Structure 1
Amino acid sequence: MTDFEKAYEKAIADKILPGYALLAGNKDALRCVEEGRITLDEDVARYLPSIGKYGIMTSFDERTNEAVTVPNTTPITLRQAMLLSHTNGHEYDWLNPDLTKWRASRGEIPSCGPTIEEKHTLPLLYEPGTSFKYGPGSDWAGKVIEKVSGKTLDAVMKEKIWDPLGITDISFFPKERSDIKDRVANISTLNEQGEGPATDAGGFDVFVDATDCLGGVGAFASAEAYFIFLQSVLKRDSRLLNDDSWDELFKPQLDERCKEELNDYLKSSPLHTQLLGMGLPADIEKQWSFAGMIAEQGQEGRMNARTVCWGGVPSLTWYLDFEAGVCGVAFCQVIPPMSPRILKLHELFQRAIYEKVAA
C-alpha cells in the first residue's frame, strides 16, 4: 500500500458519508413483495394519492406561465410503470428545464419541501411505461414501503438489512445519532473547470432539508458499512432475500422501446453523459435492473459484461461484477457530480481491482 493509499484509508476509515440508498431501498421493496404486503403490479395510487395528480406535461406555455398538461390514465406500479426502473413518467425537476419553469411559476425551487410529497409531486413527462427518465421513483417506492409496513424506511432497513448484517454506521438522519453525528464528512467542490484543489462546499445539503427518508437520494454510511452490504448483495445473501427475489432484483427490466430511450437519454447532453453515464463508453449498451444500471457488454481490463453499477451526487460509485466475483464502492464526496476527473479516478480504481483479480 502506498503512502497516499494509507493516508486516504485513514482519512475515511471513521467517516460517515452521504450517498445513495437506491440498491438497499429497492431490495426492501422486493422484501415487501415477498411478505405479501404489496405486489409488483399493484397501482401505487392506493398508497400515494398525490403521485401523478398533475397529469402529463406536454409543454410549458411561457406566455401564460403555465404547464400544458393532459390526463394520465396509466396506473403507476412498482414494475409495469416502474417506480423501481425510472419508467414511471417522472424526472427530477432539477434535470428538466420545463419542470424548473413549472416550479418557478409556483414560486418554488427544485426539490423544495421537507416531505417526498412536497419534493416530488410533479407533472409527469410521458405516459408511464413508455420511456426512461431519471427521477424520484425510488423515493416514492420508499414511501410505499412505509405505507405498507407502518414503519419508517429507516426502521425497515434497520430490521431487514442492517441488523442481520451487523451494520450500525448507517442512518438517514445522522444528526439524530449521537454515535455518528460528529463524524459526518464535509462535501468538497472543484472549480468551474473541474480542477482542484478541492475546497469546502459550504454546507451543501444533499437532502435539501428533508424530514422524510429519501429512498432514492439515500442514507449516510461509513464506506466499510456500505461495503459489507454490497458484499452481501454480491453473494445473494439469503438473510436479505430469497432466490426468486434476487433473480428479480438483477433481471433486466426495460423492454426494447424503453431500453432505447435509456441509451438515447444518456447521450442527450454532456450533463446526462457525465452525471448518469457512469463514465462508461457510449458504445456499451445499457439496461436497467431494480438494482441499478447494467452494462450489457464488458470493457477490457475494467469489468465483465452484465456488471451492475450506479452512483450518487457526491460523486460516489459502486459496482457488482458477478462474473469476476468482485464488488467495490468508492466514496469521493466531491461536487459538481461526476466530473470527468473524478470519473477517471473511479475507472482507475475498477481497473486496479480487476487487475488484482486477474492476477
Structure 2
Amino acid sequence: MTLEKRFDKILEKYTTTEVNALKGLAFIVVDKHGHTLYSKAVGSREIDITSGSHLHIDSVFYIASLTKAITTLACMIAVENGLLALDENVRDIVPELQKVECLIGFEESDKFPRKPVLEDVTDPISLRQLLSHSSGFIYDQLHPGILEWSQYVGRTDHTFTGSLAGYTHPLIFQPGQGWAYGPGMDWAGRTIEVVSGLTLEEFMQKNIFSKLGMNDTTFRAELRPDFPARTMATTWRDRETGLLSTGVVPLALPAKDCCGGAGLYSTPEDFSKILKLILQEGGDILSKESIDEMMKPQLPDLRWFWDVTTGPSKRHLAQTWPEGAKGTFGLSSSINLEDFPGRRPRNSVNWSGMPGCHAWVDREAGISGLLMTQVFPPGDPMVTKCLLELETALYTHLREGTPTIWK
C-alpha cells in the first residue's frame, strides 16, 4: 500500500467508521524543498454530514494557538529590521506593561473574593520571555488566583474577549523565574504594533501573508464575506458520551484587538506555507539564524516545562506526547528532547491549537505535518489518536528508506 493510500485510509477511519467520528479532517505533509507531499481534506464542513458541504483544503478554520508561530515569525522580522531586540525590555516600549504587578497571594479571609497581595515587578520583561512563556503571564482561565483577582477588582474582560484588556492582569511569578502558558504572544504582538505603527494584521499582511500568497489568513474574519460559506463548523464533544454537538469558537468575533496568541483564522493550505518557510530556513523572508533561534531551547531550567507536560495541563499542551516524555520550549513552540518512539525524532518542534489543530516540524528529516479540525474541548482523544496514526505511518515509511513518499 502506498503512503498516500495509508493516509487516505486513516483519515477515512476517523471521519466515517469510528464511533462518534470527527466531522471532517485536513492533513498536509510538506518538505524542505517546498513540495507538498500530501494534501487532502475529508468529511463534512458542516456538523450535518448529509448537507453536502464537503471540507476542502482551502476551507477556513479558527487556528487558535497556531497563531503563535506566525506572531513569532513577525517578531523575528521586526528584530531583523532593527525595530526590536529579543532581550530588550518591552516594558519601556508598551505603556500597558509599565505598571504590571505580580500576584503573590491573598489576605486571609472568610469572604470571597479575597483581597489580593501584590508586589512590584522590578525586573525587565524581554521579548524573548514573552515568546517563550517565561515572562510571568498566564492565561487567566488556567489560574484560579488570576480569576479570583479579576472578581475582586471587578474585571470583566478575559482571555476570550478578544481584547488586550483580557490579557491585562498581574504576573504569577517574576519575569524569567518560571514557565506558564499565557498571553506572552499577545503582548509580543502588541509590541510589534507600537514599534511599527501598524496593527498586527497590517504588519503580517505586509511582511508575511502577501509574500507567501496567504490570501485567506486574517484576524478579521468578519470582514471577509466569503468566509461564512467556507468555514468549518465548530463542534463540541461530550466527554462522558463522546457525542458531538454544535459548538462555538470561544474567542469573540469580531475581536477588538489583533490577538497574537490565538486570534487568526486560516486554511490548511495557507498555514502549510508557514511550515514550508520554516523548513526552508526562512526563505526570502527571514535569515537562517532567526529560524535557528526560534527552534532552539530557551528555558534555563528544564523542570519548568516538564512539570507542565506531565501535570494537569498535559491534555491541552502535550496531549500528543508519549507519557513522561521530556521537553522544553523555544520561541513559540514545544521541543521534544527525546525521540517519540516510531514517530518524530528529538529536537522536533510542535504547535497546537485548541480545536484540534496540530503542526510539527522535523528539521532533521526536512518534513512537516499539519492536521486540522474544529472540535472542543481541547485535547480531543480522537484527534490525538488520528495524529499519532498519521505520524507513525509517515515515519515508518521514512525509516523503510523508500525513495519517494508515494511508493
1:55-94 residue CA offsets vs partner (Å, 9 max, x unmatched): 1111133626221111111110112xx0000000111000
Is 1:86 aligned to residue 140 of structure 2?
A: no
Aligned to 2:83: 37
The count of residues paired between Structure 1 and Structure 2 equals: 350
Of 308, 312, 327 in structure 2, the residue corresponding to residue 265 of structure 1 is 308
Q: Give the counterpart of 2:201 among 154, 159, 182.
A: 154
Structure 1 residue 123, shift from structure 2 partner: 0.9
Residue type at the aligned position of 2:55:
A
Deviation at 1:155, TM superposition (A): 1.3
Structure 1 residue 305: deviation in Å? Answer: 1.0
Residue 212 (structure 2) aligned to one of 159, 165, 169: 165
- 3-state SS of the aligned residue for 1:284? coil
**Secondary structure in structure 2 of the residue aligned to 1:182:** coil
Q: Percent identity?
A: 28
The residue number in structure 2 matching 1:331 is 372
Helix, strand or coil: the match of 1:37? coil
TM-score by length of 1: 0.91
Contact conserved, 1:146 with 1:153, CA < 8 A, in 2? Answer: yes
Q: CA deviation at 1:208?
A: 6.7
- Relative to structure 1, the CA distance from residue 194 to residue 357 in structure 2 (aligned partners, 3 Å threshold; closer, same or farther) is farther
Deviations 1:180-202 (A, max 9, x none): 34322221011132723x2211x
CA distance in 2, matches of 1:312, 1:265: 17
The aligned counterpart of 1:309 is 350
Q: Deviations over 1:99-132 (max 9, x none)?
A: 111112233453264521x111111111110100
How far the C-alpha of 1:11 sits from its partner, in A, is 1.4
Q: 1:166 to 1:214 in 2, by over 3 A?
A: same
Residue type of the alignment partner of 1:21: T
What residue identity is the alignment partner of 1:115?
S
Give per-residue Cα distances to partners, 1:22-53, cap 9 Å, x unaligned: 11110110111111111112111122222263
Larger Rg: 1 or 2?
A: 2
The AA in structure 1 aligned to 2:80 is E
RMSD: 2.0
- Indicate conservation of the 8 Å contact 1:60/1:68, yes or no: yes
Q: Which has the higher contact order (CA 8 A, sep 6+)?
A: 2
Runs (5+) with no aligned partner, structure 1: none
Q: Which residue of 1 aligns with 2:269?
A: 224
- For residues 125-153 of structure 1, give each alpha carbon's deviation from its aligned partner in whole angstroms, at most 9, with x where no partner exists: 11110100000000100011111111111
Partner amino acid for 2:105?
Answer: S
1:22 matches 2:57: no
Distance 1:320 1:283 in 2: 21
What letter is aligned with 2:89? D
Report the 3-state secondary structure (helix = DSSP H, G, I; strand = E; otherwise coil) of the residue aligned with 2:394: helix
Q: Would the aligned equivalents of 1:291 and 1:308 in 2 still touch at CA under 8 Å?
A: no
Alignment partner, residue 352 of structure 1: 393
The answer as to 2:221 corresponding to 1:174 is yes
Q: 2:124 aligns with which of 72, 75, 80?
A: 75
Asked whether the 8 Å contact 2:343–2:392 carries over to 1, the reply is yes
Q: 2:213 and 2:310 mapped to 1: Cα distance?
A: 40
Task: Please list every run of 5 or more consecutive structure 2 residues that lacks an aligned counterpart in the other structure.
Answer: 13-39, 45-53, 403-407
Determine helix, strand or coil for the equivalent of 1:138.
helix
- Distance, in Å, in 1 between the alignment partners of 2:161 and 2:214 is 30
1:8 corresponds to which of 31, 43, 59: 43
Q: Could you tell me how far apart the structure 1 residues matched to 2:175 and 2:57 are? A: 42
Cα distance change of structure 1 residues 62 and 209 upon mapping to structure 2, 3 Å threshold? farther
Q: 1:12 aligns to what SS in structure 2?
A: coil
Cα gap change, 1:239/1:283 in structure 2, threshold over 3 Å: closer, same or farther? same
1:130 is the counterpart of 2:173: no
